[in-house]
Amino acid sequence: MALTGIQIYKLLPQTNCKECGFPTCLAFAMKLAAKQVELSACPYVSEEAKRQLAESAAPPIRLVSLRSASQEVKAGNETCLFRHEKTFYNRPGIFLRLRPNEAGWKETLQQAAGWKVSYVGVELGLDGFAVEIEDEASAAAVRELRALVAHPLILIGKDPAALRAALEALRGETPLLYAAEASNWEAMADLAKEYRAALTVRAADLDSLADLTQKVQARGVEDLVLDLGTSQLGPWLTRSTVVRRMALKNFRPFGYPVLAWRTEPPSELEAPFIAQAIAKYAGFIIVNTFAPEMLYPLLVLRQNIYTDPQKPIQVQPGLYEINAPKPDSPVLVTTNFSITYFSVANEVEGSGLPAWLVVTDAEGMSVLTAWAAGKFDAERIAKAIRTFEVDGKVTRKRLVIPGHVAVLSGELEEELPDWEIRVGPREAVDIPAFIRQALN
C-alpha cells in the first residue's frame, strides 16, 4: 500500500539540506507521496529507505508476464473484487494442455493454434499451450512444438531434469513452470531462477500456500503464480476469493496471479469451472481438451467480464458498404453498439447480398435500449442519413429499419418524405431472407 507523506518523511535523512530543490525533507516527502517527484532527486536516501519505498509502490497483485520470442500473456495488476467497482484489466490467458507422450498431439497443436473465432470484430483464440513434460523425450517435443507455433508456454512436470531439458529449448523466453510443491520447491525455484521462468506454487491449503510462496520468494524467484490446490467449484471459489481479498489488503504472499486448472472429473464441469475462474479472479487458465464448442463461449465470456463497465464497446457511426453495394441496393439502419452492429453486418456480409448500412450515433446502445433512452428515434436516423450523404449514393431510396422499432416508421416517413420506409425483421438472422423475399 502507498505510504503517506509522514511515513515517507520518517525514511528520509531529515537534514533539510535542500539539495532536492525543496526547503525541507517534509516538503519533499509530501511531493513524493503525491507522485509529483522522483526519489532519485534526493542524493542521501539510504538503501533501506529505497527498498521500503519501492515495496510500498508495488501493485498489490504482481504483474506476471509469460513470453515467447514474439508473444506475451500477462496477468495481475488487478485492483478490485467486483468489476463494477472499476474494471478488470488483464484477461486471463487460456492455455491448452498437450501431452507429447500421447499420439496425435501435433495434429491437435496445429489445429488449435490455427483456430480463431471472431466476436464483435475481435479475433479470439488460444493464448498458449501447457505441455506435460514427463521425461527427457518430451523435452525434445518442445523443440518440435517451437518449430510449429510461437505461443507462450506452460511446462507441466515433476521431474526437474526433464524440465531442465525443456527449458534449454526455450532459452530467452519466459515460460511458466508448473508446479513447485512442498516436496520439490527448492529444485523448482532454482530452475526458475536459472532460466528466468515464472513459477507456479501449489499447496493443499491456503496456510501452506502462504508459507511456500514466502520460501520460494526468499530463494529469489519473483514471478510467482498460485495454484489453489483444488479444482472443485465451491472450495476453489472460496480460496480464490480469500486470496484476492488478502492480496488487495497487501498480504504479499498472495500478491500473485492465480492459475485455474480442472483436474478432477466429471468432464462436464470443466466449462462451468473455467467460467467461474474467468469471473472470479483467475489470471491463467489451463483447458484439457481442444473443443471449439466450449472454447468459443468461454472466450466470449472472458471478453464480456473484462469489458470496462463504464464504456460500452462501440463502432464508429457512418455509412458502411457491405458486399460492394450499388445505387439501387437497399439501405439498412442500425445503432453503433458493437454487438448490434456486428450482428447485422455479419449476417448481411455472410449472405453475399450487397447493402448500405447506416450506423447512427446511439451512444453505444443496442436498438431497444437506445430507443428507450431516446437515442435512436426518427429525428436521429434522418439526421444520420443527411450527415452521411446517403441521398447522393443511392438511386432507390429504400430504408429498412429494425423490426423492434417498427413504431418509428410513421415519424420517419415524415422526416424523410422522399424515402420508402420498410420495417425489417426483428432479429438479424432473418435479414438475408427478408432482403431476398421482401425487397425485390
Residues that bind other proteins in the complex, under the rule CB under 8 A? 82-84, 115-119, 206-207, 210-211, 232-235, 237-238, 241-242, 245-246, 249, 251, 253, 266, 268-269, 271-272, 275-276, 279-280, 291-298, 300-301, 303-305, 307, 309, 339, 343, 350, 366, 369, 372, 427-429
Judged by CB under 6 A, the residue of 369, 387, 397, 409 near ligand B12 is 369
- Quick one: what does residue 211 bind among ligand B12, other proteins, ligand SF4, none, with the CB cut-off 5 to 8 Å set by partner type? other proteins
Q: Which is nearer to ligand SF4, 28 or 178 (CB)?
A: 28
Query: Contact positions toward ligand SF4, by CB under 6 A?
Result: 12-13, 15-20, 22, 25, 28, 42, 44
Residue 360 engages ligand B12 in binding (rule: CB under 6 A): no
Give the nearest distance from C-beta 39 to ligand SF4 in angstroms: 9
Q: Which is nearer to other proteins, 159 or 363 (CB)?
A: 363
Q: How far apart are the two ends of the chain, measured CA to CA in Å?
A: 67
For residues 98 and 117, what is the distance between their CA atoms, to the nearest angstrom?
A: 21
Closest CA to 26 of 17, 34, 14, 38: 14
- Quick one: what does residue 291 bind among ligand SF4, other proteins, ligand B12, none, with the CB cut-off 5 to 8 Å set by partner type? other proteins
For residues 414 and 75, what is the distance between their CA atoms, to the nearest angstrom?
A: 54
Q: Which is nearer to ligand B12, 41 or 368 (CB)?
A: 368
Q: Which of residues 405-434 bind ligand B12 (CB under 6 A)?
A: 424-425, 427-428, 431
Q: Which is nearer to ligand B12, 166 or 333 (CB)?
A: 333
- Quick one: what does residue 12 bind among other proteins, ligand SF4, ligand B12, none, with the CB cut-off 5 to 8 Å set by partner type? ligand SF4
Q: Which is nearer to ligand SF4, 12 or 156 (CB)?
A: 12
For residues 44 and 269, what is the distance between their CA atoms, to the nearest angstrom?
A: 58
Q: State residue 399 phi and psi, 5-degree precision.
A: -115, 125
Give the nearest distance from C-beta 54 to ligand SF4 in angstroms: 17
Q: State residue 236 phi and psi, 5-degree precision.
A: -65, -45
Residue 259 engages ligand B12 in binding (rule: CB under 6 A): no
Residue 334 engages ligand B12 in binding (rule: CB under 6 A): yes
**Cβ burial, residue 331 (10 Å; 0-12/13-18/19+):** buried
Q: State residue 125 phi and psi, 5-degree precision.
A: -160, -175
- Quick one: what does residue 44 bind among ligand B12, other proteins, ligand SF4, none, with the CB cut-off 5 to 8 Å set by partner type? ligand SF4
Residue 348 engages ligand B12 in binding (rule: CB under 6 A): no
The string over 254-288, giving b where at least 16 C-beta atoms fall within 10 Å of a residue's C-beta and e elsewhere, is bbbbbbbbbeeeeeeebbebbbbbbbbbbbbbbbe
Residue 368 engages ligand B12 in binding (rule: CB under 6 A): yes
Q: Which is nearer to ligand B12, 5 or 425 (CB)?
A: 425
- Quick one: what does residue 283 bind among ligand B12, other proteins, ligand SF4, none, with the CB cut-off 5 to 8 Å set by partner type? none
> In 3-state terms, the chain is what percent helix, strand and coil (to 5)?
45, 20, 40
Q: What is the DSSP string of 227-278?
A: E-S---HHHHHHHHHHHHHHHHTT-GGG-S-EEEE--SS-GGGHHHHHHHHH
Q: Which is nearer to other proteins, 131 or 287 (CB)?
A: 287
For residues 106 and 102, what is the distance between their CA atoms, to the nearest angstrom?
A: 9
For residues 30 and 22, what is the distance between their CA atoms, to the nearest angstrom?
A: 10
Q: Is 353 left (phi over 0), alpha (psi -120 to 50) or beta?
A: beta
Residue 340 engages ligand B12 in binding (rule: CB under 6 A): yes
